[in-house]
Structure 1
Amino acid sequence: MDMFEVTVIEDPAAAEASLDPMRARLLAALAEPGSATTLAARVGMARQKVNYHLRALEEHGLVELVEERRKGNMTERVLRATAASYVISPVALSSLAPDPAQSPDRLSASWLLALAAKLVRDVGALITGAARADKRVATFALDGEVRFASAADRAAFAEELAAAVTALVGKYHDDQAPGGRTHRVVVAVHPSMKKPADTGAGDSTDTDNDTDSGERN
């Protein structure tokens, strides 16, 4: 079976296993197949301890057996990570996950974070289902930056963006379309994180209530 490009972790125990620093290191190393012996030399740990961590990762479906090789009177198990990368779904947090249905506010950073968590949860579930059915998930995303001269320009941009998205939704939304499928639209604007090399004046991250986000069906 081919390695998945990304796997979304929903099980709390699997999430805990993946967050352990040594196990995370082993997962990264197992992008290419390896055994406890080869990994022990790479990470500088006793083979028995590596085996212990590998068993935990295998138990939670984060690594899988590729082949078994006979070496004298021993059998060497060659393992590989089940995915090139992993994302932990808010589902793993259960009742602690943020709920965007609580106090929706387009200018609230907390609501934006709740929307982002919902996005990870829903798309994660879609990816898992599509992988089982050997299909692709139909998605579209944009990512870019815009530098505003003033807070007033930022507010005007947010209003125009909301109006444009509302108009597009009104144009293409069809409740009665036979065989149609509802899609979720999430639009967000937030300050860019300052890169360590950025030292220009005015480039620091704002902390005022400057986030605009919207969600439409």
Structure 2
Amino acid sequence: MQDVVVIEDPAAAAASLDPLRARLLRELATPSSAAGLAAKVGLPRQKINYHLRSLEEHGLIELVEERRKGNVMERVLQATAASYVISPAALAAVEPDPTRYRDRFSAYWLLALASRMVHEVGRLIMGAAAAKQQLATFAVEGEITFASAASRAAFAEELAADVARLATKYHDAEAPGGRAHRVIVALHPSLKKDPRRQQGQSLSSSESQEIQP
């Protein structure tokens, strides 16, 4: 089982978005059979088998073993990943294009860059897995509280200058065997936390939409 699989096929994406199939994927983090899943979900085994066949056809689950149970051969299945991310490539016709606009202060450009990163890193992960190689990546994540919009703007300017300096220092387009790497640095406000969620209370979909950034 992989940690994360990026879904690019539109049919596989549609299959994973079905609420029941998403539940089955979560349950199949641990290997189980249709009978075992039927008991957990509370649905007939025949219906569970129907959904399992669809998930298996799209490569979202895989056969672990077959074992005889009485007169029946039971198939034990497991999810192919602990988590799934749907790539923008699944909606290729409307996939955001970062080259259409290059405004570093635009939230839409940030989304387009993030979408491209999901697509590209997903493809790289698949290639590295097929070649049985490690994929060299690096990420930094943190949270900063700015005293004012002016301090945020000053931070952004200094950060941009430092990234440009480092890029100039280490970029070597003529290096034999060199490989290009994409660098993305992002800054955006953190979502405001709802106190009910912190206390373990569930929110309805309408209440969740009311939480403003």
TM-score, normalization: structure 1? 0.89
Gaps of at least 5 residues in structure 1 are: 199-203, 207-217
Counterpart code for 1:194: K
Task: State the Cα distance separating 1:4 from its structure 2 match.
Answer: 1.1
Match of 2:132 in 1: 134
Task: State the Cα distance separating 1:205 from its structure 2 match.
Answer: 5.8
**C-alpha distance in 1 between matches for 2:9 and 2:17:** 12
Identity of aligned residues (%): 67
Counterpart code for 1:129: G
After superposition, where does 1:73-84 map in structure 2 within 5 Å? 73-84=71-82
Deviation digits for residues 75-100 of structure 1 (CA, Å, limit 9, x no counterpart):
11111111111111111111211110
Task: State the Cα distance separating 1:110 from its structure 2 match.
Answer: 0.4
**C-alpha distance in 2 between matches for 1:196 and 1:55:** 39
Counterpart code for 2:9: D
Match of 2:49 in 1: 51
| Runs of 4+ more than 6 Å apart | none
Gaps of at least 5 residues in structure 2 are: 197-210
Match of 1:211 in 2: none
Task: State the Cα distance separating 1:144 from its structure 2 match.
Answer: 0.5
**C-alpha distance in 1 between matches for 2:89 and 2:166:** 31
Indicate whether 1:97 and 2:104 are aligned.
no
1:178 match: secondary structure: coil
TM-score, normalization: structure 2? 0.91
Structure with more helix by fraction:
2
Match 2:32 to one of 34, 43, 50: 34
Q: Are the aligned partners of 1:192 and 1:205 in contact in 2 as well (CA < 8 Å)?
A: no
After superposition, where does 1:1-217 map in structure 2 within 5 Å? 3-197=1-195
Task: State the Cα distance separating 1:68 from its structure 2 match.
Answer: 1.1
**C-alpha distance in 2 between matches for 1:136 and 1:88:** 22
Task: State the Cα distance separating 1:197 from its structure 2 match.
Answer: 2.3
Counterpart code for 2:91: L
RMSD: 1.3
**C-alpha distance in 1 between matches for 2:212 and 2:134:** 37
